[in-house]
Chains A and B, each alone.
Chain A
Amino acid sequence: MVKPSKSNKQGASRRSKGAVSRAAPATKGTTSRRSISTWVAGIGLSISSYFRIHREVAKESANRLYQTPLPTFMTWLVVGVSLALPAILLCLLMNAQNLGAGFDQQTNIHLYLKPEISEGEAKKFAEQRCQDPRIESCRFISSTEALKEFSAWSGFADVLAQLDSNPLPAWVDITPTHDQLSLAELEALVEQLEQLEQVDQAQLDMLWVQRLSSVIDLFQRLVWALAVLLALAVLLVIGNTIRMDVENRRDEISVVKLVGGTTAFARRPFLYSGLYYGFGGAFMALIMVELAVLWVRQPIDQLITLYGSHFEFVAPGFFFVLGLFGIGIGLGLAGAWLSVRKYSFD
């Protein structure tokens, strides 16, 4: 019987509770209270079903991307380019820093001696300098030796042979004890040496290192700014792709909610899609970075050989790759999260 009523029917309520447990033996789907033992027994089951559900959703999301290969590939490419550009620049930057650091340790002071000083005096002068605790070693190079060395590596031997007199001064190559000296102390040492009467000019071979390091500094800031902007682009690209995906699957979302799916359940496939977009994009980026390294490797090695340096170009290593994938996946998940968060899924 249906009766329009306002009265409270205790009996009916009790009857119906009994009927609920009979009609829904699966323990799922009732809002009635369950005993603690049921909960405890359920925990083991829910942990295994938690992983099973994730496995299934992961598979289903992957399948969806697989079924639309071209759009998926395009998204991967866009994400890949956005990740690869800062990654390649960062890779070059790291190498440039290595280069700077390598030279930092070898900075010598060049003391150019006045021409009127005889070779004997000059040698004695060089020995005296070595007694300074701030100086590790000194090497005297006479003007004749200097000319020989210069014509050997400059390639101007023929031209130099034509000269009537040697234009080069004698000089002392001083290696400071780098470990103990700060840059300021080094500069003070140079100034002090320059005051000596035998010295025409003292040169700390540091200026170009400083210049290089400030150029690297500037470059580094630019790379990071670019990286942040491109990360934002990745976030928006993935976010937008997922948003359209959500829009297209609105029916499914509302049916899932209607049959008792939680918001987390409805969101999960989209988060997995975001993860895949990020992972695929990072993979594309890795390929691009490797290709770029392959492309520049030979000319860089050649350049290094020409400069006679022992510097070695370092290709991206394990942690670089790990970081690339971490950032890709992180951005993918974050982008997906931003788009699903906007929908209430109710």
Chain B
Amino acid sequence: MIRFNRVSKRYQNGHDALDNISFSVEQGQMVFLTGHSGAGKSTLLRLISLLDRPSAGSIQVNGTELDRLSGREIPVYRRSLGVVFQEHRLLFDRSVFDNVALPLLVASYSPAEIKRRVQAALDRVSLLTMESLNPQVLSGGEQQRVGIARAIVNTPTILLADEPTGNLDPKLSEEVMGLFQQFNQFGTTVLVATHDLALVEKMGNPRLQLAQGKLVL
């Protein structure tokens, strides 16, 4: 569950990225966040993953008031989220397996548990056979699926995706969205920021539309 209450974000240069936003996404929902680039989609996701703090208002995630979290509690909070990026943000100095294992490694899972979970996650994105490869040799679509496996390996309660299909052709985009839908059916709350309106229409999920930092829908 994600709840925004009168949230504003003003950057240091005076730009209002978000302006008095209130909404809530219920547990188990899959919601699209749409709007032109610069409308504030990324800012909104950054606020949820605590990469930024709001200038005003409060955000509640899974019953936790985010502004009450101290610096020490942030890492533990972030482990309840899975985040997928347009540019994947994979590490090319290690294998696909090790990339996906990272969220488990930082949470000190045992090696056996890490192996089991990473293989399960890779299996769900159909990349199990590529676990020992370097992500550099994979195609764009495969890299994105590695990024998704990394986001879900920790069984997060909330999955955030920032333009996950931005670099993919329509067929691959549909595949990736299909994956998100699958996770949603397992009970994960999913929030996907995208400007691919055609795809959003086709999927028929609820949407939040941002325009110049304001919620318009």
Contacts and interface: CB of A to CB of B under 8 A. Distances in A.
A6 B5 CA distance: 6
A28 B206 contact: no
A132 B193 CA distance: 103
A5 B22 contact: yes
A152 interface: no
Contact of B188 (A3, A23, A261): A23
A258 B78 contact: yes
B202 to A, nearest CB: 18
B24 A17 contact: no
B168 interface: no
Contacts of A131: none
B106 A31 contact: no
Contacts of B69: 31
Interface stretch (A8-16, A76-84, A215-223, A294-302): A8-16
A26 B109 contact: yes
B5 to A, nearest CB: 6
Given A5-B24, A24-B155, A31 B1 contact: no
Contact of B62 (A6, A16, A49, A50): A16
Interface string B11-39: 00000000000111111110100000000
A12 B27 contact: yes
A131 B83 CA distance: 97
Interface residues of A, number: 43
A9 B22 CA distance: 13
Contacts of B71: 263, 346
Given A19-B187, A31-B64, A5 B157 contact: no
A19 B157 contact: yes
Given A22-B187, A252-B91, A259 B63 contact: no
Contacts of B72: 262
Contacts of B9: none
B92 to A, nearest CB: 9
A2 B79 contact: no
Contact of A49 (B31, B75, B110): B110
Given A13-B1, A260-B78, A260-B107, A20 B49 contact: no
Given A24-B155, A31-B73, A17 B49 contact: no
B93 A252 contact: yes
A2 B206 contact: yes
A14 to B, nearest CB: 9
Interface in B94-125: 102-103, 106-111, 113
B164 to A, nearest CB: 15
A226 interface: no
A251 interface: yes
A250 B20 CA distance: 33
A1 B77 CA distance: 25
B157 A259 contact: no
A255 B85 CA distance: 11
A189 B158 CA distance: 92
A311 interface: no
A262 B76 CA distance: 8
Interface in A1-56: 1-6, 9, 12-13, 15-17, 19-20, 22-26, 28-32, 46, 49-50, 52-53
B154 interface: yes
Minimum-distance CB pairs A-B, first 6: A29-B79, A260-B79, A261-B106, A259-B103, A260-B78, A16-B1
Given A1-B26, A29-B155, A31-B76, 12 more contacts: A6-B5, A20-B62, A20-B80, A23-B155, A25-B155, A26-B113, A28-B154, A46-B108, A49-B108, A259-B79, A259-B106, A261-B75
17 contacts: A1-B206, A12-B27, A13-B1, A19-B187, A23-B157, A23-B187, A26-B109, A28-B79, A29-B155, A30-B62, A30-B80, A30-B157, A52-B108, A254-B89, A255-B91, A258-B49, A258-B83
Interface of A: 1-6, 9, 12-13, 15-17, 19-20, 22-26, 28-32, 46, 49-50, 52-53, 251-252, 254-263, 265, 346
